[in-house]
Amino acid sequence: MTCHKLAQQMMAMTLVFLLLVGCSAPAAKPSPPKPGATLTGTITMDRAKSAQITFKVSDDGQTIEWVSAAFTELKCEGFSAGSTSTKVTGRAAITDGKFEFKSPSIGEISGQFTSPTAAEGTAHLVFVNGKAECGTWKWGATGN
């Protein structure tokens, strides 16, 4: 009986160790983007049937030139649309592979490049010049 209990305890400790090691995996290190790349992907949200994000890296790779978002069957607090899209131009600096793009017509898009042609992040979406709150959602995009 004692050997059986010892074996059970050792198995339990091994499982705890494996769980702790698996949970402490390092986050992906940001990567510099490919100059001139256009990335497109999905915003994962439950307030729209579909939500797409597209953005353009400048030719020198130092800034985001514009961000575009397109939605179908969008339903937010104080705003809904069968189909809507918005493209916001401006410059957002890319620093150490990370960026943050802010606009009153779309909200705040922040992210980091996980490779020269892939990025992920969050989108805090607001519409109608900041009056229609739509929540914060994860997104991922890849490009050329």
* Residue 106 main-chain phi, psi, to 5 deg: -135, -30
Is the pLDDT reported for residue 97 higher than 90? yes
Confidence of residue 4 (pLDDT cuts 50, 70, 90): low
Span 70-95, mean pLDDT? Answer: 93
Give the start-to-end residue ranges of the domains of the chain. Answer: 38-143
CA gap 112, 31 in Å, rounded? 8
Q: Is the pTM of this model over 0.85?
A: no
Q: Spell out the CATH class of 38-143.
A: mainly beta
